């Protein structure tokens, strides 16, 4: 059952508050006292959070009345498109909150609010504080538009808006050109993804006839995306759904940092830490997963697209985790960890466990934001700028107790320690992969299932390992910057952060531990006890998904792998790094492999070599060619021609009379040559039953006509360039069949005889309107009739069309005309003659000249 | 009798130009104020045009006075949904460009103001003329002041650039004149009298071959103006050499006349040729999108970069135009306005920095965000508009154009040329981000490395005042484009359906004839649309 609350203006206000904050702080923030900037910046988000809670409560209440409850707000019509069929599709600025959007709104405003609060302490001393707050607010507004937009284009405003904010915030410290470059990289890479969203959007609207998510999903469920997408490679026929999903997923790989477009996210750590926490961990980067969930009924119809997503997600999870294992800097490790965790989410989407993927978005928002803020707290404590090298830290648990405990809680959560939030969400994802193995109906799906399950388990081992490597090296052992003699050491006396920073840490840390209980597994491993899962109940209304397996062996397999991975990972880190000061990994794995992983598998260099540099080279060549080659062709060549021909002409007019005479002779000869023989052709016009034959008049020409070309001239030499003639039955030389396409007006004419002649149907009727087995037609004259047949057709039936009547072949009109031949002989003043002959198709029947009229327009369908 | 707004719109700059001519050279302030004032009055008059009801497709504010009776030349003007916003764009940007010029133009003030008023007259005339002869007169008229503006107040190589501009445009327009005369004489043979009236000439249906030749002649003139690849090479030179005000008008309004010419004249008069050659022009548009973007990326001169970005943007407009559906054409028409606003603003911004630094080389800048924060804000906003960020005007235009081209003619699929063209054009959206953000990076981010840049002052009142209306337009069109599209769509709808009818008529004809299109449209309507239309007896007779 559906229930919709229209015009719930809270939805608009949720967005407008942060937007207003952004405008105020952006325009006049730099002239306002810092306190006021804080009130505007944090206050608007806090109000927004309160409004989000209020609307969520309303939504929650509605859920008791109807399964699919939504709040909507129609703001205004933005613009409209007209589709080929003639329907006008409006693009409405309309917002919608359903169960999916409700959760996401709470996460965005809630976690966002905490990070705003944290920023007060973290960025308070920065001279660009107001600018920072303004950008952060603008980000909140964009993200909320992304989440609440009820149609793809409105979501796209937010989608690109968050990209802009990301660009501005990564390059926030713009005086460092590398940071600004990182921002630009993020924007450009995201734009590549946006290209995919744009094209995907067109396919969606082309099929569904609407931009609204609900309509698109309904169309997907109605099977409208099932038809093939025509493609030139024969034998490959993806469905429309597959193509649309692949294009959309390209957008997701950009925004959510998946292979191949993940490369911007690690560089994005150039931004201030709250930005990394909010945008590049908790909210924006999960937008891709959110989009997949939004359109889950569409994605689930395409097994191919789903497999691509599952494999991409798994590969990304593995690749990023393998890089994170060897990195030295806190934020860099966390960045790769984010990429890897996003891979987990996409793998869940790819195996059809959308709700599980989104549950991981939810839990990840808590523990990853907490980890980033914790890293920020550490950096703040030791006065590290940009990033912090964990090999210069250590033993911070004494000085930073709050940071340490919250960090530990989050590390446990991300590693999947039992009963923490990450435990539940990761378990569910592995369960999805395991369930797919048992889909024995389709070998592709089974193998994707195996790949995903094994890949994710390995990635989970690495996750637990690198997170605890990070934890142990930072918080246990000795503080390695205490001895100030080292290479660029940090502050010798770390201090705990102010309350505005530690409160968010505590809230998020607790969240990281407990929010998992919202999504208890359906079936408890080992015991097989059925548990109530609030999460899947809640998400069920707006997110599609494959069925959750109830078989105990599958549940045990998934849980066993999850637990095992966590135990191995944490155990390994415990042995290698607890209370240690050096990187034991360098001794355990080959140095070259270590270096390669440390260099991020050199993917950036690979992209530079095979994509960026070639394009740059082409651009350079184009830039040079434009001012040389193209300009030369269009400007200098013509001007050269004019100049040179002018020079030659002026040379000729040198006053040498012989030259003039020579030129004159050439000219006279040319003129004489033209006039030596006469030129002519025949044109025919029809009047009643008589045909008027004319030919262009030439000076001094004389004409004589042989209108029926029987070799006897019908007229004497005469200066009048025309004659009139009435044709008799004997004059007919043959029959011409006309094919005329009614739509395009294309006309073809064929002479037919008593022998079979092929008809050029293909040039008249477009290929797409003919059946692929159409072998064309042949035609011949048979007495007073025309006979049509299909050569090689199974049915040898011949079709008879009386001469003088009209027929139809597909879109082409067919009719026959008698053909006569007219000849004219022309004589000029030199006495030279020349003949011109023309075949004329008579528009009337010559059988009955007495009441000759235009042929009757009767139609017979020839099939 | 209704007020003759259009005549006033044309008379005012003409009269003002004369008045400026009569003013003593030394009254510099008076000349400046007077010319701006006249242009502002123009703006007010033109806003009156917006208030009309454009829900039906016909021409509004039509005035028709016979001029040379024996040749059928008349003074016939009018606006419809296609020309309305271009008129507004002209009247909006002319005062802005002139006002901004007063910051940098210090010599021959009087002649400059005179040229600008004359230029405005020419542009407005070309947009409202409904008589081919009148159109041609205005078309040529605006060439002269622009030639002077580049050639007199331009940069180092101004004469070369001005002559190149003049010759390029002239070659095209001469062929167009011949084509116009051919059309008129074909009409005279059938109707027995001469006329240059567009609406009367529209009843003429020509067979395919003359259509191709005439369309080619028109298209050359318009393609040069657009400028379409590969006829664009005059543009970078003209822009680099032109003074700020000239660049603004050149980019914002003059280029639009090419597209407008296609829509108003070339496409309706020669539909068969347009349908056959249009996809090729759209293809060249796509080449222009990518080529322009690539070339823009490697430019070191900011003005050249923007000039090439114009080639790229106008490629989008061509693509949308020849998609031949409402979405594409409305998008193209809107994108023209968008390009006028964003590129006009970009040239104003370049002018602002050039006045301070006397350089436009990207290498000479860096870290300007620190020294000129408001300048950076304006620049980034306009950049976002230029690369089509949703919420700004650029997005709506590009989105509609891409959608129009995506849904043009054939079903969705990888076999369709339009699908491929849409894909390629959409990569232009990516490249736009590359070259514009490249410029932003080089200009604003990083440290101030050149000592000369440390003492630069932020935007002054004149510059802010001239930019603000454009910023407002950026967001107005971006957030509520419906206001603009609603006035445009009926005209575009009728343009498309008329075009289709004309096209089919043209396909059926083997010799020139006159067709009453209104009657024909009714017949098609009655037959249930084009697919069902039956040939007439006359055609059977062939």
- pLDDT per residue over A183-202, tens digit each? 999 999 999 999 999 999 99
pLDDT digits (tens, 9 = 90+) for A236-275: 678 889 999 999 999 999 999 998 999 999 999 988 999 9
Domain check: are A591 and A606 in the same one? no
| Residue A199 located in a structural domain | no
Mean pLDDT of all residues in A386-412: 90
Indicate the burial class of B87 (C-beta count within 10 angstroms; 0-12, 13-18, 19 or more): buried
Distance from C-alpha of A25 to C-alpha of A154, rounded to nearest angstrom: 25
The answer to whether the CB atoms of A187 and B429 lie below 8 A apart is no
Total CB pairs under 8 A between chain A and B: 174
Smallest CA–CA distance, residue A102 to chain B, in Å, is 24
Smallest CA–CA distance, residue B504 to chain A, in Å, is 7
Distance from C-alpha of A402 to C-alpha of A404, rounded to nearest angstrom: 5
| Cβ neighbours of residue A301 closer than 8 Å, sequence gap 6 or more | A220, A223, A225, A226, A239, A241
| Residue A495 located in a structural domain | yes
How large is the C-alpha radius of gyration of chain B? 23
**pLDDT value of residue A782:** 77
The shortest CB-CB distance from B434 to any of A153, A188, A815 is to: A188
Domain check: are A611 and A662 in the same one? no
Give the confidence band of B534 by pLDDT, cuts at 50, 70, 90: very low
The answer to whether the CB atoms of A623 and B298 lie below 8 A apart is yes
* DSSP bridge partners of A304: none
| Residue B485 located in a structural domain | no
Closest residue in chain A to residue B432, using alpha carbons only: A188
Domain check: are A721 and A623 in the same one? no
Report if pTM > 0.90. Answer: no
Domain check: are B300 and B356 in the same one? yes
The answer to whether the CB atoms of B446 and A622 lie below 8 A apart is no
Mean pLDDT of all residues in B434-442: 93
Whether the per-residue pLDDT at A815 is higher than 80: the answer is: no
Whether the per-residue pLDDT at A853 is higher than 70: the answer is: no
**pLDDT value of residue A769:** 55
Domain check: are A689 and A554 in the same one? no
Distance from C-alpha of A781 to C-alpha of A788, rounded to nearest angstrom: 9
**pLDDT value of residue A773:** 56
DSSP characters for A228-259?
B---SSTT---BHHHHHHHHHHHHHHHHTT-T
Beta strand pairing call for A88-97 and A690-694: unpaired
User: Can you say whether residue A153 is alpha, beta or left, with left for phi > 0 and alpha for psi between -120 and 50 degrees?
Assistant: alpha
Distance from C-alpha of A259 to C-alpha of B36, rounded to nearest angstrom: 56
Among A659-673, A677-691, B86-100, where is mean pLDDT lowest? A677-691
Mean pLDDT of all residues in A279-304: 93
Evaluate the omega torsion of the peptide bond into residue A260 and state whether it is cis, within 30 degrees of 0.
yes
pLDDT digits (tens, 9 = 90+) for B346-359: 999 999 999 898 88
Residue B383 corresponds to which tokens in the numbers above? 């950049």
Among A41-55, A73-87, A721-735, where is mean pLDDT lowest? A721-735
**pLDDT value of residue B113:** 92
**Boundary-marking domain end, from A100, A134, A150:** A150
| Residue B496 located in a structural domain | no
* DSSP bridge partners of B272: none
Interface test with A, best of B295, B367, B387, B390 (most A CBs within 10 A): B390
Residue A191: closest CA among A280, A262, A286, A255 = A255
**Boundary-marking domain end, from A150, A184, A205:** A150
Mean pLDDT of all residues in A398-409: 92
**Domain count along chain B:** 3
pLDDT digits (tens, 9 = 90+) for B451-500: 888 888 889 999 999 999 999 999 999 999 999 999 999 999 888 888 88
Domain check: are B71 and B149 in the same one? yes
- How far is C-alpha A208 from the chain's CA centre? 17
Domain check: are A593 and A627 in the same one? no
Give the confidence band of A857 by pLDDT, cuts at 50, 70, 90: very low
Domain check: are B279 and B255 in the same one? no
**Domain count along chain A:** 4
Closest residue in chain B to residue A152, using alpha carbons only: B390
Domain check: are A621 and A710 in the same one? no
Neighbours of A644 (CB within 10 A): 10
Domain check: are B166 and B275 in the same one? no
**pLDDT value of residue B343:** 95
Smallest CA–CA distance, residue B137 to chain A, in Å, is 25
Domain check: are B265 and B302 in the same one? no
| Residue A249 located in a structural domain | no
Beta strand pairing call for A757-759 and A859-861: unpaired
**Alpha helix positions (H), A29-98:** 34-63
Smallest CA–CA distance, residue B433 to chain A, in Å, is 6
Mean pLDDT of all residues in B248-253: 93
Give the confidence band of B296 by pLDDT, cuts at 50, 70, 90: very high
% of chain A with per-residue pLDDT over 70:
93
Phi, psi of B66 (to 5 degrees): -70, 140
Smallest CA–CA distance, residue B101 to chain A, in Å, is 27
List, edge to edge, every strand of the sheet that includes A799-802.
A757-759, A777-782, A785-789, A799-802
Three-state DSSP class for residue B89: helix
The answer to whether the CB atoms of B295 and A202 lie below 8 A apart is no
Give the confidence band of A852 by pLDDT, cuts at 50, 70, 90: very low
Mean pLDDT of all residues in A32-50: 94
**pLDDT value of residue A202:** 92
* DSSP bridge partners of A539: none
Whether the per-residue pLDDT at A860 is higher than 50: the answer is: no
Angle at alpha carbon of residue A85, lines to A79 and A90, rounded to 5°: 20
Interface test with B, best of A76, A190, A202, A747 (most B CBs within 10 A): A202
**pLDDT value of residue A846:** 54
**pLDDT value of residue A287:** 95
Which residue is listed with tokens 């736009």? B432
Whether the per-residue pLDDT at B262 is higher than 80: the answer is: yes
| Residue B495 located in a structural domain | no
3-state percent breakdown (helix, strand, coil) of chain A, nearest 5: 55, 15, 30
Give the confidence band of A772 by pLDDT, cuts at 50, 70, 90: low
**pLDDT value of residue A807:** 74
Q: Which residue has the higher pLDDT, A49 or A695?
A: A49
**pLDDT value of residue A126:** 87
Mean pLDDT of all residues in A479-502: 80
* DSSP bridge partners of B73: B68
| Residue B487 located in a structural domain | no
**Boundary-marking domain end, from B240, B269, B298:** B269
Domain check: are B195 and B286 in the same one? no
Domain check: are B210 and B291 in the same one? no
3-state percent breakdown (helix, strand, coil) of chain B, nearest 5: 75, 5, 20
Neighbours of B38 (CB within 10 A): 24
How large is the C-alpha radius of gyration of chain A? 40
Distance from C-alpha of A284 to C-alpha of A280, rounded to nearest angstrom: 6
Domain check: are A665 and A530 in the same one? no
Domain check: are A631 and A683 in the same one? no
Domain check: are A634 and A755 in the same one? no
Domain check: are B80 and B177 in the same one? yes
Q: Which residue has the higher pLDDT, A581 or B219?
A: B219
The answer to whether the CB atoms of A198 and B504 lie below 8 A apart is no
Residue A753 corresponds to which tokens in the numbers above? 């005889």
Domain check: are B333 and B215 in the same one? no
Whether the per-residue pLDDT at A180 is higher than 80: the answer is: yes
Distance from C-alpha of A367 to C-alpha of A305, rounded to nearest angstrom: 30
* DSSP bridge partners of A787: A780, A800
Give the confidence band of B542 by pLDDT, cuts at 50, 70, 90: very low
pLDDT digits (tens, 9 = 90+) for A829-849: 777 888 888 888 877 665 543
User: Can you say whether residue A64 is alpha, beta or left, with left for phi > 0 and alpha for psi between -120 and 50 degrees?
Assistant: alpha
**pLDDT value of residue A765:** 61
% of chain B with per-residue pLDDT over 70:
94
Smallest CA–CA distance, residue B446 to chain A, in Å, is 4
- How far is C-alpha B398 from the chain's CA centre? 16
| Residue A164 located in a structural domain | no
Three-state DSSP class for residue A693: strand
| Residue A273 located in a structural domain | no
Mean pLDDT of all residues in B406-431: 82
| Cβ neighbours of residue B45 closer than 8 Å, sequence gap 6 or more | B5, B8, B9, B12, B91
**pLDDT value of residue A743:** 63
- How far is C-alpha B242 from the chain's CA centre? 18
Give the confidence band of A725 by pLDDT, cuts at 50, 70, 90: confident
| Residue B69 located in a structural domain | yes
Domain extent, residue A659, equals 653-863
Q: What is the DSSP letter of A846?
A: S
Domain check: are A351 and A495 in the same one? yes
| Residue A447 located in a structural domain | yes
Contact A543, A354 (CB under 8 A): yes
Give the confidence band of A805 by pLDDT, cuts at 50, 70, 90: confident
| Cβ neighbours of residue A748 closer than 8 Å, sequence gap 6 or more | A738, A739, A740, A760, A763, A764
**pLDDT value of residue B541:** 43
pLDDT digits (tens, 9 = 90+) for B344-402: 999 999 999 998 988 889 989 988 998 999 999 999 999 999 999 999 999 999 999 99
Domain check: are B146 and B15 in the same one? yes
Contact A393, A378 (CB under 8 A): yes
Mean pLDDT of all residues in A14-30: 94
**pLDDT value of residue A793:** 59
**pLDDT value of residue A810:** 63
| Residue A437 located in a structural domain | yes
The answer to whether the CB atoms of B295 and A619 lie below 8 A apart is yes
**pLDDT value of residue A232:** 62
**pLDDT value of residue A786:** 78
Give the confidence band of A628 by pLDDT, cuts at 50, 70, 90: confident
Mean pLDDT of all residues in A358-381: 93
Domain check: are A402 and A536 in the same one? yes
Mean pLDDT of all residues in B88-97: 94
Whether the per-residue pLDDT at B29 is higher than 50: the answer is: yes
**pLDDT value of residue B1:** 45
Mean pLDDT of all residues in B101-123: 90
**pLDDT value of residue A858:** 34
Contact A195, A210 (CB under 8 A): no
DSSP characters for A343-389?
HHHHHHHHTT-HHHHHHHHHHHHHHHHHHHHHHHHHHHHHT--S--B
Mean pLDDT of all residues in B62-73: 88
Domain extent, residue B172, equals 1-269
The answer to whether the CB atoms of A630 and B422 lie below 8 A apart is no
Chain B residues close to A181, C-beta within 8 Å: 441
Contact A166, A227 (CB under 8 A): no
In a 13 Å sphere around the CA of A819, the CA atoms on its Cβ side amount to 18
Report how far apart, in Å, the C-alpha atoms of A347 and of each of A300, A350, B526 are: 13, 5, 57
The shortest CB-CB distance from B433 to any of A187, A626, A746 is to: A187
* DSSP bridge partners of A2: A68
| Residue A257 located in a structural domain | no
Give the confidence band of B531 by pLDDT, cuts at 50, 70, 90: very low
Whether the per-residue pLDDT at B315 is higher than 50: the answer is: yes
Domain check: are B130 and B151 in the same one? yes
Domain check: are A708 and A785 in the same one? yes
Domain check: are B78 and B216 in the same one? yes
| Cβ neighbours of residue B465 closer than 8 Å, sequence gap 6 or more | B99
DSSP H/E element including A824: strand A812-827
Whether the per-residue pLDDT at A77 is higher than 80: the answer is: yes
pLDDT digits (tens, 9 = 90+) for B221-237: 999 988 888 888 889 88
């Amino acid at each position: 059952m559906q229930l919709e609350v229209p015009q719930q203006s809270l939805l608009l206000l949720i967005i407008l508050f942060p937007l207003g904050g952004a405008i105020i702080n952006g325009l006049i923030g730099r002239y306002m006292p810092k306190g006021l900037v804080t009130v505007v910046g944090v206050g608007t988000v806090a109000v927004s959070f309160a409004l989000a809670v209020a609307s969520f409560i309303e939504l929650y209440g509605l859920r008791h009345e109807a399964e699919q409850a939504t709040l909507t707000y129609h703001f205004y019509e933005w613009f409209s498109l007209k589709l080929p069929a003639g329907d006008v599709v409006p693009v409405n600025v309309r917002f919608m909150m359903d169960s999916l959007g409700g959760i996401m709104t709470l996460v965005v405003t809630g976690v966002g609010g905490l990070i705003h609060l944290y920023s007060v302490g973290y960025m308070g001393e920065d001279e660009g504080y107001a600018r920072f707050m303004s950008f952060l607010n603008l980000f909140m507004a964009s993200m909320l538009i992304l989440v609440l937009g009820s149609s793809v284009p409105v979501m796209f405003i937010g989608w690109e808006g968050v990209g802009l904010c990301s660009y501005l915030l990564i390059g926030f410290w713009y005086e460092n050109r590398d940071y600004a470059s990182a921002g630009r990289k993020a924007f450009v890479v995201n734009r590549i993804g946006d290209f995919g969203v744009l094209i995907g959007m067109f396919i969606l609207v082309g099929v569904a006839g609407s931009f609204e998510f609900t309509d698109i999903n309904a169309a997907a469920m109605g099977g409208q995306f099932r038809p093939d997408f025509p493609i030139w490679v024969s034998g490959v026929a993806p469905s429309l759904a597959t193509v649309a999903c692949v294009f959309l997923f390209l957008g997701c790989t950009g925004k959510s940092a998946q292979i191949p477009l993940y490369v911007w996210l690690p560089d994005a750590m150039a931004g201030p830490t709250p930005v990394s926490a909010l945008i590049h961990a908790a909210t924006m980067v999960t937008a891709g997963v959110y989009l997949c969930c939004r359109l889950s009924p569409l994605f689930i119809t395409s097994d191919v697209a789903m497999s691509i997503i599952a494999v991409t997600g798994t590969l990304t999870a593995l690749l990023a985790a393998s890089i994170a294992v060897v990195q030295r800097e806190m934020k860099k490790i966390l960045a790769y960890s984010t990429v890897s965790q996003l891979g987990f989410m996409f793998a869940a989407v790819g195996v059809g466990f959308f709700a599980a993927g989104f549950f991981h978005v939810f839990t990840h928002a808590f523990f990853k934001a907490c980890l980033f803020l914790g890293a920020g707290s550490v950096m703040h404590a030791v006065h590290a700028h940009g990033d912090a090298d964990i090999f210069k830290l250590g033993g911070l648990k004494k000085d930073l107790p709050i940071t340490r405990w919250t960090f530990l809680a989050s590390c446990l959560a991300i590693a999947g320690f039992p009963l923490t939030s990450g435990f539940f969400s990761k378990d569910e994802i592995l369960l999805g992969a395991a369930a797919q193995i048992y889909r024995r109906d389709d070998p592709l799906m089974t193998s994707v299932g195996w790949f995903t399950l094994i890949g994710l388990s390995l990635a989970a081992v690495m996750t637990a390992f690198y997170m605890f490597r990070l934890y142990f090296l930072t918080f246990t052992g000795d503080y390695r910057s205490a001895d100030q003699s080292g290479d660029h050491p940090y502050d010798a006396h770390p201090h705990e952060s102010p309350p505005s920073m530690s409160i968010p840490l505590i809230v998020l840390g607790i969240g990281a531990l407990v929010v998992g209980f919202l999504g208890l597994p359906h079936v408890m491993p080992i015991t097989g006890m059925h548990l109530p899962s609030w999460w899947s109940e809640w998400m069920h209304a707006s997110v599609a998904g494959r069925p959750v397996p109830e078989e105990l062996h599958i549940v045990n397999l998934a849980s066993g792998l999850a637990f095992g991975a966590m135990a191995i990972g944490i155990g390994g880190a415990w042995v290698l790094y607890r209370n240690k000061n050096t990187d034991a990994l360098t001794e355990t794995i080959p140095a070259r492999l270590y270096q390669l992983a440390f260099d991020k598998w050199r993917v950036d260099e690979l992209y530079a070599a095979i994509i960026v540099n070639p394009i740059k080279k082409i651009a350079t060549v184009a830039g040079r060619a434009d001012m040389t080659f193209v300009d030369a062709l269009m400007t200098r060549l013509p001007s050269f021609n004019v100049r040179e021909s002018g020079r030659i002409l002026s040379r000729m007019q040198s006053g040498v009379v012989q030259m003039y005479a020579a030129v004159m002779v050439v000219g006279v000869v040319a003129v004489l040559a033209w006039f030596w023989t006469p030129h002519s052709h025949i044109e025919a016009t029809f009047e009643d039953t008589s045909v008027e034959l004319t030919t262009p008049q030439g000076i001094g020409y004389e004409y004589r006509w042989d209108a029926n070309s029987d070799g006897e001239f019908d007229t004497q030499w005469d200066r009048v360039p025309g004659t009139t003639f009435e044709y008799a039955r004997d004059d007919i030389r043959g029959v011409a069949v006309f094919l005329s396409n009614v739509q395009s007006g294309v006309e073809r004419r064929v002479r037919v005889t008593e022998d079979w002649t092929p008809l050029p149907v293909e040039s008249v009727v477009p290929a797409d309107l003919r059946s692929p087995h159409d072998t064309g037609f042949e035609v011949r004259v048979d007495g007073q009739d025309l006979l049509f047949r299909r050569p090689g057709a199974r049915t040898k039936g011949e079709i008879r069309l009386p001469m003088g009547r009209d027929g139809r072949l597909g879109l082409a009109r067919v009719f026959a005309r008698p053909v006569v031949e007219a000849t004219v002989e022309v004589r000029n003043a030199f006495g030279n003659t020349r003949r011109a002959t023309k075949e004329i198709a008579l528009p009337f029947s010559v059988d009955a000249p007495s009441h000759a009229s235009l042929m009757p327009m009767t139609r017979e369908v020839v099939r | 009798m209704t007020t003759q707004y259009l005549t006033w719109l044309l008379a005012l700059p003409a009269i003002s130009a004369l008045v400026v001519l009569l003013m003593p050279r030394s009254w510099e302030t008076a000349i400046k104020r007077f010319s701006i004032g006249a242009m502002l009055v123009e703006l007010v008059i033109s806003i009156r045009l917006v208030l009309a009801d454009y829900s039906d497709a016909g021409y509004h504010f039509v005035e028709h006075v016979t001029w040379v009776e024996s040749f059928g030349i008349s003074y016939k003007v009018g606006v419809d949904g296609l020309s309305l916003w271009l008129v507004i764009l002209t009247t909006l940007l002319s005062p802005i460009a002139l006002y901004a010029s007063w910051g940098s133009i210090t010599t021959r003030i009087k002649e400059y103001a005179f040229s600008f008023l004359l230029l405005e007259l020419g542009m407005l005339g070309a947009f409202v003329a409904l008589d081919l002869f009148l159109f041609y007169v205005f078309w040529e008229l605006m060439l002269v002041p622009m030639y002077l503006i580049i050639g007199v107040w331009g940069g180092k190589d101004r004469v070369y650039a001005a002559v190149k501009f003049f010759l390029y445009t002239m070659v095209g327009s001469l062929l167009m004149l011949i084509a116009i005369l051919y059309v008129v004489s074909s009409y005279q043979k059938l109707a027995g009298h001469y006329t240059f009236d567009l609406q009367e000439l529209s009843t003429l249906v020509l067979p395919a071959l003359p259509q191709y030749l005439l369309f080619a002649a028109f298209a050359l003139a318009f393609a040069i103006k657009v400028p379409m690849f590969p006829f664009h090479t005059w543009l970078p030179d003209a822009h680099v050499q032109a003074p700020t005000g000239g660049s603004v008008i050149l980019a914002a309004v003059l280029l639009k006349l090419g597209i407008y010419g296609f829509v108003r004249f070339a496409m309706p008069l020669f539909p068969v040729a347009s349908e056959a050659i249009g996809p090729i022009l759209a293809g060249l548009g796509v080449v222009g999108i990518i080529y322009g973007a690539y070339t823009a990326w490697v430019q070191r001169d900011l003005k050249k970069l923007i000039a090439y970005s114009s080639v790229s943007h106008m490629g989008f407009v061509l693509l949308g135009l020849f998609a031949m559906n409402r979405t594409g054409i409305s998008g193209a028409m809107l994108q023209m306005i968008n390009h006028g606003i964003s590129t006009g603003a970009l040239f104003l911004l370049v002018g602002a920095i050039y006045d301070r630094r006397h350089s436009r080389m990207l290498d000479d800048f860096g870290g300007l965000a620190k020294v000129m924060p408001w300048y950076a804000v304006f620049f980034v906003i306009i950049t976002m508009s230029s690369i089509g960020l949703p919420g700004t005007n650029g997005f709506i235009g590009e989105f509609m154009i891409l959608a129009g081209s995506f849904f043009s003619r054939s079903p969705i699929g990888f076999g369709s040329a339009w699908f491929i063209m849409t894909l390629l054009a959409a990569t232009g959206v990516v490249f736009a981000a590359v070259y514009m953000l490249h410029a932003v990076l080089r200009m604003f981010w990083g440290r101030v490395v050149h000592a000369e840049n440390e003492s630069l002052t932020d935007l002054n009142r004149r510059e802010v005042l001239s930019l603000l209306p454009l910023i407002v337009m950026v967001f107005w069109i971006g957030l509520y484009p419906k206001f603009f599209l609603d006035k445009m769509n009926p005209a575009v709808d009728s343009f498309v359906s008329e075009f289709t009818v004309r096209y089919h008529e043209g396909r059926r004809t083997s010799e020139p004839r006159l067709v009453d299109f209104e009657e024909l449209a009714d017949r098609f309507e009655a037959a249930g649309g084009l697919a069902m239309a039956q040939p007439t007896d006359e055609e059977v007779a062939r």
